[in-house]
Amino acid sequence: MHPSLHAQEHPDKPAIIMAGSGETRSYAELDRASNRYAHLYRAEGLKIGDTVAVFLDNDPDYFSIVWGAQRAGLYYVAIPSRLTAAEVSYILQDSAADMLISSAAKLAVIDELRDLNPGVKQYAYGVDDERAVVPALAAQPDTPIADERHGMDMLYSSGTTGRPKGVRIPFPENEDIAQPNALVAIAQGAFGFAPGCTYLSPAPLYHAAPLRWCMTVHRLGGTTIIMEKFDPEQALALIEKYQVDVSQWVPTHFNRMLKLPDEVRQKYDVSSLKSAVHAAAPCPVPVKEKMIEWWGPVIMEYYAGSEGNGFTFINSADWLEHKGSVGKALLGTVRICDENDNEVPTGEEGQIYFEGGSPFSYHNDPEKTKAAANSHGWTSLGDVGKVDADGFLYLTDRKSFMIISGGVNIYPQEIENLLVTHPKISDAAVIGAPDEDMGEKVVAVVQPMDMADAGADFAQELEAWLRESLSGVKVPRQIDFRAELPREATGKLYKRLLRDEYWGKTGSRIV
């Protein structure tokens, strides 16, 4: 299954429809564009195993770029579109990207990247200089390259230093670009994605789930409806307009749709939905109960990571019998182990491992790669949980205090490392605190050099200062002050104590 095959069978079928503009790309157009990209990569010297990076907002050309890379045997790196130049530069360097494809909307950032990453070839939409990608593509053939080979995404996860780390999954031994895909099997077998389905994607394409599931729908010959930006009422209107039958969400989307006035929610027909999949962050039990009551037993959930080492699944019926569970394993075997790598009895908590899942490594971080596996060779995402007597998995803790806000992974140490460089700050800790809308919000607990500075004015000063170096999603929504942070004699921060305190209340605390 591959969009190139659907281009032959159903050339005029829409592969992509942009929700806001209505712009449509057919399978024939997607196939021709991805072929041109594959030729452009080769013309610029990119060989099998090289890397191309994408730095775009949601756009139909996103798929031309990544499908071109997939059929050219490249690793393609999806970079969050709101990152600063310094943040993008790190990913370009770490991934050894040979090319960056962006747009005029990111001009200020990519101009700065010219100096930071002079060895990375740039192409961009909407520019009129030597980086203009449209004429470069027009000069390329729209037929397949001679050496097509299956490529892979390379998505970024947390690193031990607080910097993100690329998850590197080996290329499949089979070079066929249309070979069977594990996600296609899961989508059809568990989630009910049918060939030719209509799929609503409400999230940024640079995230693992939206990108991978949209590409899975393309393998099935379906149509992806891409929202430029999530809006709760627009999402409902799109389901009705396009008779959407499959979709993928995060709990924040559910929460925002549930908060619409009753008359707004009730005026849209969502009965076409057969599968509404969610993941990325824990969904509060009351929210999921309300969604099942509203949309019916079409709510599906899974637990997995960019690493691809395991995958669990649960449908609505099973969830109602096992509320809070993320299901049973479809890929790999779940193992719950203590700190000595011994399996714990049923119902007891321990670190979650998968046996027999797909191999992976963290790019340029052999220590993190080694730490992800135990003595049995089972691999873990670092989460803690338990399995009940029926074999259903429950998550009871987060990996390394990672913050998940609106389905976005945020790593505290990067923010902490920046905060402590401020001349007025002695120490800092960043944690996730409860947030009714986003699930979690970023909170910075700061120990000033002088407690006389503690207060609203200094908090505003810090927020503005952080925004100069961090993308908005990482900037703390709450900054509190303490005379001293809880550290032991060795210097280790008792972050657990801070987190537990904030999860016991939601109000601001300035001491």
Same fold yes or no, 24-162 and 328-397: no
Q: Which CATH number fits domain 24-162: 3.60.110.10, 3.40.50.980, 1.10.3720.10, 3.40.50.300?
A: 3.40.50.980
Task: Enumerate the domain spans of the chain.
Answer: 24-162, 328-397, 403-503
Question: pLDDT tens, 338-365?
Answer: 989 999 999 998 999 999 988 888 888 8
Going by pLDDT thresholds of 50, 70 and 90, the confidence category of residue 35 is very high
Over residues 207-224, mean pLDDT: 95
Helix (H, G, I), strand (E, B) or coil at 254: helix
CATH number of 403-503: 3.30.300.30
Over residues 84-98, mean pLDDT: 95
Going by pLDDT thresholds of 50, 70 and 90, the confidence category of residue 277 is very high
Over residues 41-69, mean pLDDT: 97
184: number of Cβ within 10 Å: 17
pLDDT > 70: what percent of the chain?
96
Report pLDDT for 159.
Answer: 43
Over residues 181-188, mean pLDDT: 90
Residue 506 pLDDT > 50? no
Residue 488 pLDDT > 80? no
pLDDT > 90: what percent of the chain?
72
Going by pLDDT thresholds of 50, 70 and 90, the confidence category of residue 492 is low
Nearest-10 crossing angle of helices 107-116, 85-95: 50
Cα–Cα distance for residue pair 54/45, rounded to 1 Å:
17
Going by pLDDT thresholds of 50, 70 and 90, the confidence category of residue 182 is confident
Report pLDDT for 499.
Answer: 85
Q: Which CATH number fits domain 328-397: 3.40.710.10, 2.30.38.10, 3.90.1150.10, 3.30.1330.10?
A: 2.30.38.10
Helix (H, G, I), strand (E, B) or coil at 168: strand
Scored b (16 or more CB within 10 A) or e, 449-486 reads eeeebbeeebbeebeebbeebbbebbbbebbbbbeebe
Q: Which of 209, 323, 225 is nearest to 277 (CA)?
A: 209
Helix (H) or strand (E) holding 158: strand 155-158
- Of the two residues 406 and 76, the one the predictor is more confident about is 76
Question: pLDDT tens, 413-425?
Answer: 788 888 988 889 9
Residue 2 pLDDT > 50? yes
> 269 and 50 in contact (C-beta within 8 Å)?
no
Residue 395 pLDDT > 70? yes
Question: pLDDT tens, 438-473?
Answer: 889 999 999 998 999 999 999 999 999 999 999 999
Report pLDDT for 399.
Answer: 60
List the beta strands (DSSP E) in 359-424: 361-362, 384-387, 393-397, 403-405, 408-410
